Amino acid sequence: MDDQQDQAVYSNGDGDYSRSMNANARISNGHPSYPYSSYGTAGSEQFSCYYCERNLSGSRYILKDEHPYCIKCYEDRFANTCEECRRKIGTDSKDLSYKDRHWHEKCFFCSMCKTPLIDKPFGCKNDQLYCGECYNQQFASRCDKCNQIFKPGTKKLEYRGQQFHEHCFTCYTCSQPIGTKSFIPKDQKSYCVPCYEENFATKCTRCLKVIAQGGVTYKNQPWHRECFTCTNCKNSLAGQRFTSREDHPYCADCFARIYAKKCFSCSKPITGIGGTRYISFEDRHWHNDCFVCQRCRSSLVGRGFLTDGPDILCPDCGRREQYYPTENSAYNSGQRSIVSDYPKTN
């Protein structure tokens, strides 16, 4: 089977937005390290704002770096600016902070649906705040089959740049979830192994089972190596020389025993193995090497010859034996060697 089996892999299973959705804003009064206080008099010295020198006697003030500031000067110089309304977050307001950004309590809401986000999970994208639902709809990754989002805790299968819910990654034929089992892709579709084998795999001509690897081809048909056997003795022919008759393969021994012509000289089968040509005259046949003059043993292949009963003789030996044309019409075409082609051995 040429097609390679693949496997899809699981992602971390957290869902795309779960890490960004665990953000929580820190809520404070904005200035935990700078307490309010009231002050009457401090000896005979006037107690005044470090910046505007306003007398702070009997007034609220805030210490910063051991210097007192009136409320106005402190808010103007040190209070955080709200990301939403761009106003100062006063000392009497709650300051919600997230990643060095600050909001009034009333300004801390989803940029799409305006739902307040205090004490709720939220996501941040492109400097905008989103509640969980809006973040999912806008930015969460989606299954390439059903186009639904991956919720937190949902397993996600990834394959060739695409991602799927576990129950969406299925065999194209039987629609059963593949999960992390082996599968085979074909024409941009995924098939479980049983369905692929049933529909596309190469099958043996004899046993009709899938040829998973190896195999042999004969007459453009596939076979398991163990199924490609001699028609007569059933021994495997894989890697062996064989001969066919009427499209049926035979090992050399069986073919010679059942079908091969016998050499008139040596009486052994003429199988074609080691050469594909043999000599035939009338009803007699010879191996090329056996077709020789009975007197001088010279080869008669491609030469004229004479016959003396069962013997064949070269012209020279025939003349020495004083054969006459009345006995054997010397050298006519019917007495010349006939060279025939034997069926090729595979």
What pLDDT score does 46 carry? 66
What pLDDT score does 339 carry? 44
Q: How far apart are CA 300 and CA 319, in angstroms?
A: 15
What pLDDT score does 3 carry? 55
Q: How far apart are CA 223 and CA 215, in angstroms?
A: 6
What pLDDT score does 182 carry? 81
Q: Could you read off the pLDDT of 153-209 as tens digits, one per residue?
A: 678 788 877 888 888 888 988 888 887 788 888 888 888 888 887 787 788 888 878
* Nearest alpha carbon to residue 98 among 64, 75, 76, 121: 121
CA dihedral 113, 114, 118, 121 (to 10 degrees): 20
Token output for 280: 């035939």
Query: What type of residue is 301?
Result: V
What pLDDT score does 45 carry? 55
Asked whether the beta carbons of 183 and 191 are under 8 A apart, the reply is: yes
What pLDDT score does 12 carry? 42
pLDDT tens for the chain, 346 residues: list them. Answer: 445 555 554 444 433 333 334 455 665 544 433 444 444 444 435 688 888 888 888 788 888 888 888 888 888 888 888 988 998 888 888 888 888 889 888 899 998 899 888 888 888 888 888 888 888 787 778 888 888 887 766 787 888 778 888 888 889 888 888 877 888 888 888 888 888 877 877 888 888 788 877 778 888 888 888 888 888 888 888 877 787 778 888 888 788 777 777 788 887 777 665 555 678 887 788 888 888 888 888 888 878 888 777 888 888 887 776 544 433 333 333 334 444 444 444 5
What pLDDT score does 234 carry? 86
What pLDDT score does 330 carry? 37
pLDDT, mean over the chain: 75
What pLDDT score does 4 carry? 55
Q: Which residues pair with 48 in a beta bridge?
A: 55
What pLDDT score does 308 carry? 79
- Which whole-number Å values give the CA distances from 226 to 10, 207, 216, 247, in the listed order? 40, 10, 9, 18
What pLDDT score does 25 carry? 62
Asked whether the beta carbons of 291 and 265 are under 8 A apart, the reply is: yes
What pLDDT score does 47 carry? 82
Domains of the chain: 6-10+141-200 (2.10.110.10), 216-257 (2.10.110.10), 265-341 (2.10.110.10)
Phi, psi of 316 (to 5 degrees): -65, -45
Whole-number CA gyration radius for the chain? 50
- Which whole-number Å values give the CA distances from 13 to 70, 157, 307, in the listed order? 54, 9, 94
What pLDDT score does 322 carry? 54
What pLDDT score does 30 carry? 45
What pLDDT score does 178 carry? 83
- In the block, tokens 């050399």 appear at 252
